Amino acid sequence: MKKATSLLFLILFSTLQAQNSLPQDYFSNPLDVPIVLAGTFGELRSNHFHSGLDIKTQQREGLEVKASAAGYVSRINFQHYGYGKALYIQHPNGYTTVYGHLQKLAPKIKEYLRKQQYAKESYEIELFPEPGELSVEQGELIAYSGNTGGSGGPHLHFEIRDGSQRPMNAQMFGLEVPDSRKPIIQGLFAYPLGDDAHVNNSQARQKLNLIPLNDGTYTVNQVEACGEIGFGISTVDQLDGAYNHNGVFRIEANLNGDQVFEIDFDKFSFAETRHLNQLIDYEYYANNRSRVQKLFKTPNNPLSIYGNLSEEGKLNIKDSLDYQYTIKVTDFKGNERTVRIPIKGQISDNIKKREQKATDYLASASDGLSAKGEKIDVYIPGGSLYEDAYLDINFTDDMVEVHKDEIPVHKNFTIGFDVSDYPAEEREYLFIARLSDYGRPNYSTTYKKGNRFTTGTRTFGKYTLVKDTTAPQVRPVNFYDGQWISTNETLKVKISDDLSGIDAYRATVNGKFILMEYEYKNNTLTHYFSDNVLTETENDLKLIVTDNVGNTNTYTAKFFRK
């Protein structure tokens, strides 16, 4: 007894030590408002785990963003998509903090950036200032919060990364995020995995009905199964003061009291983030838009977030034996939700067989697949798929359907089109598009070499050639040709393209480059007169906007300023 107690103490102590080895008072809240999260670390997103905390900014932009600790600005990355306007601070203790979707930078840093943007004549830019160039104190104003890049509403994306640029759960560093609510279980599924395995007389995935109990836990009706099976769970967490469905911190499962599975959202690397598609039931997500996390590990899965697994989390259910499988879902604050699943081992000779989906195209995970139609070919290299799979591939004259987006693809496969039937002048306007479920064409980066067009993609679906002969549209927003606009702080223009999409834009005034910031979400280009690059009274604006096949609109207008 004494031995068991001291062992328990040792385990508890070492767990605490591991957590305490992270600095707890080093990083401060980068905002002046209390932290309320719209997104947690490790949350399941499209093709990636969320790498930071999404901190709410009272539904508005322009909140002051402060350095979370002293250090120096080590990277400034401005992109149309992704993090939008992002700032990185390197700290003396070896960690890096990241601030994303910013509206604008604080004056000192902005000045440094503007110089470089004008030198490069580009809004999109990536800079790595040297130590000492842009030092900041803890709590110093570094930026204003915004909604730039791939952001669905105003918030601050905040990350803490380790020395290998691996994002870590920033909540582990003592940032206070109130949460007294238990995780929510949205769905529970059983998977027959072995060739002869079955669950409730079927070899197909089974949705189990959750039965809530008075003590806040869940159970399900007894599951009858035999052979190798696994489970999957759809779960989210809600924090205090927010309606958002966020990610949980830990999921554990045990069988008859022994732990068989664990996953912890504490840290990961960007190299592994796309393997999220192996954690979730991708096919279920494709058809139901709900992410079920598999509580067992599939082959070729390098995710580092798994803890102790026994038999990769799979259960071997034997006839005539009883089992109790228990899932415990925990949020960062330790609020937990338990689901108990009674399993009865029972061989059945009346089982609904797994659907056989054999096609002409068996793609191997290791060797890939080549397929050829008359004018179109598909090349899937080895390592693109996680598991061998029969693919449905259908060629027509100018379209190929490469399966459905129900199987995850890890690395690019190539689709090639022979365009020799099209006259040269028509080819210029053609591009390869992926058709959405509703048939809307989305530009897929198209490489053109003589008669052959190719594209690389990581999404299965329908691909076809589309012709775009219309140049982008340009429309002034806050001025008109010939106007006096001395009191304007900005020059705003809307740009849009009907089919292939905007590729490039370049604005000059009186022949000199002016910086315009592009925000794709509202199709707007903005120049800030505070850049102080315009000195004349009479100004000739020339804006050239090009779409992805090269159609160009050259817009000119005159404006006056004093």
Query: Quick check: 429 and 498 in contact, CB under 8 A?
Result: no
Phi, psi of 5 (to 5 degrees): -65, -45
Helix (H, G, I), strand (E, B) or coil at 270: helix
Whole-angstrom distance, CA of residue 333 vs CA of residue 144: 29
Local structure of residue 253 (DSSP, 8 states): E
Element (H, E) at 10: helix 2-20
Nearer to Zn ion, 247 or 416 (CB): 247
Q: How far apart are CB 57 and Zn ion at their closest, in Å? A: 12
Q: How far apart are CB 158 and Zn ion at their closest, in Å? A: 8
- Per CB under 5 A, the segment of 52-60, 166-174, 185-193, 482-490 that binds Zn ion is 52-60
Residues that contact Zn ion, how many (by CB under 5 A) = 2
Q: How far apart are CB 25 and Zn ion at their closest, in Å? A: 24
Distances, alpha carbon 97 to alpha carbons 67, 73, 160, 360, in Å: 8, 10, 5, 50
Angle at 338 between CA 333 and CA 341, to 5 degrees: 160
Q: Which residues 6+ apart lie within 8 Å of 316 measured at CB?
A: 227, 228
Distances, alpha carbon 440 to alpha carbons 269, 433, 435, in Å: 34, 9, 5
Nearer to Zn ion, 100 or 313 (CB): 100
Helix (H, G, I), strand (E, B) or coil at 395: strand
Q: Which of 157, 250, 434, 462 forms a contact with Zn ion (CB under 5 A)?
A: 157
Q: How far apart are CB 40 and Zn ion at their closest, in Å? A: 10
Q: How far apart are CB 294 and Zn ion at their closest, in Å? A: 24
Nearer to Zn ion, 54 or 497 (CB): 54
Question: Does 91 engage in binding with Zn ion (CB under 5 A)?
Answer: no
Whole-angstrom distance, CA of residue 219 vs CA of residue 237: 19
Nearer to Zn ion, 143 or 514 (CB): 143
Question: Does 43 engage in binding with Zn ion (CB under 5 A)?
Answer: no
- Per CB under 5 A, the segment of 54-62, 172-180, 341-349, 458-466 that binds Zn ion is 54-62
Phi, psi of 65 (to 5 degrees): -105, 125
Residue nearest to Zn ion (CB): 157
- Per CB under 5 A, the segment of 51-59, 62-70, 176-184, 354-362 that binds Zn ion is 51-59
Per the listing, tokens 């009905």 go with: 209
Nearer to Zn ion, 159 or 228 (CB): 159
Tokens of 177: 């995020």
Nearer to Zn ion, 157 or 337 (CB): 157
Q: Which of residues 411-450 bind Zn ion (CB under 5 A)?
A: none
Q: How far apart are CB 52 and Zn ion at their closest, in Å? A: 5
Q: How far apart are CB 416 and Zn ion at their closest, in Å? A: 36
Nearer to Zn ion, 157 or 275 (CB): 157
Do you know the residue count of the chain?
A: 562
Question: Does 54 engage in binding with Zn ion (CB under 5 A)?
Answer: yes
Nearer to Zn ion, 87 or 339 (CB): 87
- DSSP-assigned letters across all residues of 317-359: E-TT-EEEEEEEEE-TT--EEEEEEEEEE---SS-BPPPP---
Q: How far apart are CB 146 and Zn ion at their closest, in Å? A: 13
User: Which chain residues interact with Zn ion by CB under 5 A?
Assistant: 54, 157
